[in-house]
Amino acid sequence: MKKAENTRGLVHGLAAICLVGLMALPVMAAPGIPQGFDANGEKIFKRYDKTPLAATTGTDGKRNLNSYYELRQYPGSPPMIPHDVDPSFSSKGLKCLSCHEKGGYDSSKNAYAPVTPHPENELCFQCHVPKHAKKLFRENNWLSIAPPKLGISELAGSPPPIPHSLQLREDCIACHTGPAAVAEIRVEHASRGNCRQCHVPFISTAPAKEFKRKN
Amino acid sequence: MKLNRRSFIKSAAVSSAVATAGSIFPGISFADWKRVKGAYGITWKKAPCRFCGTGCGVLVGVTNNRAVAVKGDPNCSVNKGLCCVKGYHSVQALYGRDRLKKAQIRKNGKMVEVPIAEALDVIAAKLKETVKKHGKDSVAMYGSGQWTIPDGYVASKLFKGCLGTNNVEANARLCMASAVTGFMTSFGIDEPMGCYEDIEHADVFITWGNNMAEMHPVLFSRMLASRKRKKDVTIIDLATRTTRTSQAADRSILFKPNTDLAVANAICYEIIRNGWMDKDFVKKHTTFHKGKTNIGYGTEDHFKFKDKPENMSFAEYKNFLEDYTPEKAERISGVSARDIKYMASLYGDPTKKVTSFWCMGMNQHVRGTWINNLVYNIHLLTGKISTPGNSPFSLTGQPSACGTVREVGTLTHKLPYGVVMKEKARKKAEKIWDLPAGSIDPKPTYHTVEMFRALDRGDIRFMWIQVTNPMITMPNLNRYRNGALKDDRFIVVSDVYPTPTTDVADVILPASMWIEQEGMYGNSERRTQHFDEIVPGPGDTMSDTWQIIEVARRLGFKKQFPWSQKNYIGKIWEEYRRFHDNPKHNMAPYEVLKARSGVQWPFVNGKETRWRFNSKYDPACKKGSDFDFYGKKDGKAWIWARPYEPAAESPDQEYNFWLNTGRVIEHWHSGSMTRRIPILHNAVPESYVELNPEDAANLGVVNGELVKIISRRGSITMKASINGRGVPPKGMVFVPFFDEDYKINEVTLDAFCPISKQPDYKKCAVRLEKA
């Protein structure tokens, strides 16, 4: 038990979930609470308390839609880089893909790296730039549109359509699963695999069409 | 984990966000739905999905007599709680604004609404009059693989039994007739030996011209999940066009249209040459045969063909295969000898269980029966059949192509049990149907294409079309639409929406759709699936079964159609079941069907049969046998020598492209239902022509520009799609057929497999112009 406690911060990703699953659960009597009733229901609360957040919610809780859109100028724009990068920005020393191709835990940031849906584009800085200035050069009257609403299912419980264009965002699993996924749009059934079996594009900014016979 | 204040706030925020995202409602505002008034609770009722032949179980959520939601039925072993995008939104197809709610009759050239009883009177009178004037074979029923089992059963009883004409066909002729003749010629009995559980057992999957990722997505997901879970599962996509299935496969192998015949023979050649044949199995359980060759294409009226099977020895069969060494097959098919050897090694590896999947690619094929035979050959030579995971699996495209068309036998030569040519089968039907001996005509009349030709010629004057849309789906459509529009042709159409087929109707009957009536479907794996009337239909809508019963009674057949509207489905089922009272085909009783999410036949002693012809699983097998292919008299399956022959029309100097047609995941069949579902229509609002990028560059068109596709029969102008959903090879274009505004079947050819009479929608020659 001790050992598991000590290493918890170091184990990564799914390994953490497996290890937690294997830990023996201590049944320690809390003062004044009788034991062994309610089908030992106390175990649930103990387990909940001991299980790291990433393992219970599936995300590390660092990214949500607010922080996601804060990095973008409009829904669908390339996000800026929210962390330090080598100022030279030469691809030699800069290996975005070492973290962002497959994701994983970065202990220096105590966070899981988001996975890019388009790792085949290796010239990252073509679209993604860091933020160095503290102040704008001049103010700007830019207005954006509202991001797509969540859960716009056609029917109660039916799979929601894909509200965004698939251009450069065709790899659903990269953004919608894993510990770095944005909490609100993370899916719990990525094991299904063939995403477009159930989810088809219905771009929220495009006008909806109705089928009408021509004659 | 001790919580300090900060981490508590963070964790609460995350878990509430996750809860919101995960459980769709409540907490998220739903766009601008109109709500059902006063509705709070939902009750869930089981049904099979309305669309493809997979036969997913769905649970339909109902509130105040309205269907409002769908989820996958976890009790249904087909899909285990998962649907596809069509299934999830299927109930929206009930509520399209232009739903047909009233009967209509053509009066002075215009369709006018009438009470449905009046329309039924007119139909009965016209039927009687036409039979009197032109003979019993001048009236026809054209039904559907979307008919419920009772629909097809009463249609057959009325036309074949009471009226004595074998003019009963169904659109399943266009979709799985080659699968049937494949089964009949190889095994002597129809429908797959295996079941969907094969997917979890197999190590290798080969999809033969079968874009399962879009057309059978739920089964494809099962395949992908199995590959992910297990080690060393291999998926090979053997096709004529690159699709989503190719993307997901471990290997995509392309062959030239119609040359799958050569590839399959070459695989057999390699299996024998390398000693991978299961000699014991082949000796005990198979015999070798050949049939006629150069068998034609049926493009001319009155085309007749009858195969003449002859026995042959194994040595002769081996000799036949000499024409199909991998190198020779490579020259025919364009598939490298290496790839052929690779596939043969997968089929031949004794440690690997192999499942082959196919659907329209092999069935809509001018040699459809042959290619079905040849893939069975591969499985028979290696003994990889009728055991879990070893499965030659013919999929169907419609929800009850198996249940209604193949099992009830709504084809010109068929009866619910046996064929009209056999006296024993006729007698059985006449007995169950309470008809005098000799009521059923021993001669089959017209298969579908010939039936529409007969309508054009005037041999048929009255046609009743139910649950299908032939004015989109018939090949060489111009001829058959003009035929239907001729004077003195009377067309009755029962449907749920206006379509190009109701456009040619003289009477339109508003039909109940899917769960607005009680019924049963039968899916690809011999599974019969019952559904109750779950919601009421609008207006005067009436089930297709009841429409036929009403007309039958008006014609004086009250004795044969005695049931009350309250319980007719159960009564019809129990009568129908008498045709299948043997362990090779026993169907489950009505009560069992009602209770379960689908039941497989043969249903013997309260148990479903998962794998047929294997005595471990199939009680119909001879005692003491290991395998018993009991469809054939000697219990042995037939291995066929079938050569490669080219398509009916191949590209030439003038018409230099192949035209291939098919579907997309969003739209089903002719789109009359799926296009009225907003999410599906918006995902694919119109059809298009897929071009190879090089061909597009040569033609000078970019994505979205118009291309004119011209064949010897017609032409059509539509938008180009380059690197879209699929990519055809150079020299081929592909068009989805769902869109009534771009009727690609005006361009296709009505050539068919001479044995199955199923048209080939995948191959004809066209040329292209930039429009």
Convert the pLDDT of each residue in B706-729 to its tens digit: 999 999 999 999 999 999 999 999
Q: Cβ A202–B676 below 8 Å, yes or no?
A: no
- Judged by a CB distance cut-off of 8 A, whether residue A50 touches chain B is yes
Q: Which residues of A touch B4 (CB under 8 A)?
A: none
B540: helix, strand or coil: coil
Nearest to A194 among B217, B498, B503 (CB): B217
Surface of A (124-153) touching B: CB under 8 A: 149-153
Better pLDDT: B732 or A71: B732
Query: On the CB side of B549, how many CA atoms lie within 13 Å of its CA?
Result: 18
Query: On the CB side of B483, how many CA atoms lie within 13 Å of its CA?
Result: 23
Under the banding of pLDDT at 50, 70 and 90, the label for residue B3 is very low
The sign of the dihedral angle between the CA atoms of B138, B412, B169, B102 is positive
Strand order of the sheet with strand B286-290? Answer: B310-312, B286-290, B637-641
Give φ, ψ of B603 to 5 degrees: -105, 100
Residue B26: pLDDT over 70: no
- Cα A69 to Cα A66, A184, A214, B31: the distances in Å are 5, 12, 42, 21
Cis peptide before B26 (omega within 30 of 0): yes
Q: Which residues of A touch B91 (CB under 8 A)?
A: 155
pLDDT (tens digit per residue) in B438-458: 999 999 999 999 999 999 999
Nearest to A211 among B83, B503, B676 (CB): B676
Cis peptide before A52 (omega within 30 of 0): no
Better pLDDT: A125 or B23: A125
- Residue in chain B closest to A160 (alpha carbons) equals B24
d(CA A146, CA A160): 18
Q: Which residues, at least 6 apart from B415, have a Cβ–Cβ distance to it below 8 Å? A: B156, B160, B409, B425, B426, B428, B429, B440, B579
How distant is the Cα of B683 from the closest Cα of chain A, in angstroms? 6
How distant is the Cα of B9 from the closest Cα of chain A, in angstroms? 11
Q: Which residues of A touch B32 (CB under 8 A)?
A: none
pLDDT (tens digit per residue) in B625-681: 999 999 999 999 999 999 999 999 999 999 999 999 999 999 999 999 999 999 999
Q: Cβ A213–B71 below 8 Å, yes or no?
A: no
* pLDDT for the residue numbered A4: 40
CA proximity to B142, closest of B124, B120, B165, B125: B165
Q: Cβ A197–B84 below 8 Å, yes or no?
A: yes
Q: Which residues of B touch A191 (CB under 8 A)?
A: 225, 228
d(CA A183, CA A63): 6
Q: Which residues of A touch B221 (CB under 8 A)?
A: 192-194, 197
Cβ–Cβ under 8 Å, residues B501 and B493: yes
pLDDT (tens digit per residue) in B592-602: 999 999 999 99
* pLDDT for the residue numbered A88: 60
- Residue in chain B closest to A165 (alpha carbons) equals B683
* pLDDT for the residue numbered B585: 96
- Cα B278 to Cα B235, B275, B285: the distances in Å are 23, 8, 11
Q: At B160, which amino acid appears?
A: K
Q: Cβ A210–B678 below 8 Å, yes or no?
A: yes
Domains of chain A by residue range:
2-57, 62-133+153-204
B496: helix, strand or coil: coil
d(CA B532, CA B518): 4
Tell me the average pLDDT across B240-253: 94
- Judged by a CB distance cut-off of 8 A, whether residue A97 touches chain B is no
* pLDDT for the residue numbered B189: 97
B5: helix, strand or coil: helix
- Residue in chain A closest to B24 (alpha carbons) equals A151
Cβ–Cβ under 8 Å, residues B75 and B46: yes
- Judged by a CB distance cut-off of 8 A, whether residue A177 touches chain B is no
Q: At B406, which amino acid appears?
A: R
Q: Cβ A151–B70 below 8 Å, yes or no?
A: no
Domains of chain B: 657-770 (2.40.40.20)
B396: helix, strand or coil: coil
How distant is the Cα of B672 from the closest Cα of chain A, in angstroms? 10
pLDDT (tens digit per residue) in B519-536: 999 999 999 999 999 999
ipTM for the assembly: 0.71
Tell me the average pLDDT across B494-506: 98
Task: Indicate which of A187, A200, A210 best probes the interface with B, i.e. most B CBs within 10 Å of its own CB.
Answer: A200
Q: Which residues, at least 6 apart from B419, have a Cβ–Cβ distance to it below 8 Å? A: B409, B413, B425, B444
Q: Give the bridge partners for B519, in sequence order.
A: B531
Cβ–Cβ under 8 Å, residues B235 and B207: yes
- Judged by a CB distance cut-off of 8 A, whether residue A58 touches chain B is yes
CA proximity to B360, closest of B523, B469, B239: B239
pLDDT (tens digit per residue) in B378-411: 999 999 999 999 999 999 999 999 999 999 999 9
Cβ neighbours around B127 below 10 Å, total:
22
DSSP assignment letter at B403: I
Q: Cβ A158–B69 below 8 Å, yes or no?
A: yes
- Judged by a CB distance cut-off of 8 A, whether residue A98 touches chain B is no
Q: Cβ A153–B14 below 8 Å, yes or no?
A: no
d(CA B401, CA B54): 11
Cβ–Cβ under 8 Å, residues B162 and B551: no
Q: Which residues of B touch A150 (CB under 8 A)?
A: 20-21, 28
Residues of B labelled catalytic: 86, 175-176, 360, 397-398
d(CA B410, CA B416): 8
* pLDDT by residue, tens only, chain A of 215 residues: 333 434 333 334 444 444 444 444 444 555 676 777 778 777 877 777 777 666 666 676 778 888 899 898 888 889 999 988 876 655 555 588 888 998 888 888 888 899 999 988 887 888 888 887 888 888 888 888 888 888 788 888 899 999 998 889 989 999 998 888 998 898 878 777 789 999 999 887 788 888 999 86
Under the banding of pLDDT at 50, 70 and 90, the label for residue B514 is very high
* Structure-block tokens of residue B401: 């192509």
Nearest to A153 among B24, B248, B683 (CB): B24
* pLDDT for the residue numbered B360: 97
d(CA B770, CA B647): 27
* pLDDT for the residue numbered A94: 58
* pLDDT for the residue numbered B32: 53
DSSP assignment letter at B419: B
* pLDDT for the residue numbered A108: 84
Q: ∠ CA(B218), CA(B223), CA(B229), 5° rounding?
A: 125
Cβ–Cβ under 8 Å, residues B86 and B738: no
d(CA B607, CA B583): 11
Tally the residues of chain A: 215
d(CA B541, CA B537): 6
